[in-house]
Amino acid sequence: MSRVGFAESVGVAALLAAGTAAAYVMSRLLLPAGTAFALAVTLAAAACACWLIMRSATSTGRVVVALAWGIAALTLWAAAPHPALLVATHALLLWLLRVLFHHHGVLAGVLDLALSGVAVAASCAAFRHTGSVLLAAWCFFLVQASFACLPGRAAPGRRSGDNLARARATAAAALARLERGA
């Protein structure tokens, strides 16, 4: 599976932002504003989590991580924290998914954590100044899309076993050259 690129991430960000706004508007018809916002944020984070899990090169642990993420998200939604705390906690849950499935190093994880903080700040600022769920979601997911540009991201299919197999093949080729030259 190919690596997640920035263009793909921006496209997914646009879909998630539009979906978040639509979910908020639709649920606002039946629910109070706070509950509708929490539902829209939780659904958008769930969609993003599904995309991150499906696009990972690693297949091990997908179901367990998806279930754990779902339980954490439902628990968070039931606790009904302040909207900014809700967004920040979902950002941390998404960060954990990216660290588990898309990064292979401390530097990439720390940079992605900083990116998540910037995304939450941009989202809160956009919502505070415009009152638009669409713009807030767009700012959040657009900043989050930048994770595709971070250094130290895991290459697809590159596992430690691949390095060992490549080393064995190189050693076998060198040995064959030595035997022919002797």
Write out residues in the chain with pLDDT < 50, as ranges.
156-158, 160
Q: From its phi and psi, is residue 158 left (phi > 0), alpha (psi between -120 and 50) or beta? A: beta
Give, in order, the Cα–Cα distances in Å from 181 to each of 111, 128, 169, 172, 178.
50, 74, 18, 14, 5
pLDDT of res. 118: 95
**Owner of token pair 């989050």:** 144
Q: Which helix (H) or strand (E) holds 1?
A: none
Domain boundaries in the chain? 6-157
CB neighbour list of residue 122: distance below 8 Å, 6 or more residues apart: 139, 140, 143
Structure tokens at 83: 């909207």
**Owner of token pair 């297949």:** 59
Say what the pTM is.
0.77
* Nearest CA-CA partner of 44 in 16, 70, 22: 16
pLDDT of res. 154: 52
In sign, the C-alpha dihedral spanning 124, 125, 126, 129 is positive
Say how far apart CA 33 and CA 178 lie, in whole Å: 75
37-71 pLDDT, tens digit per residue, is: 999 999 999 999 999 888 888 778 888 888 998 89
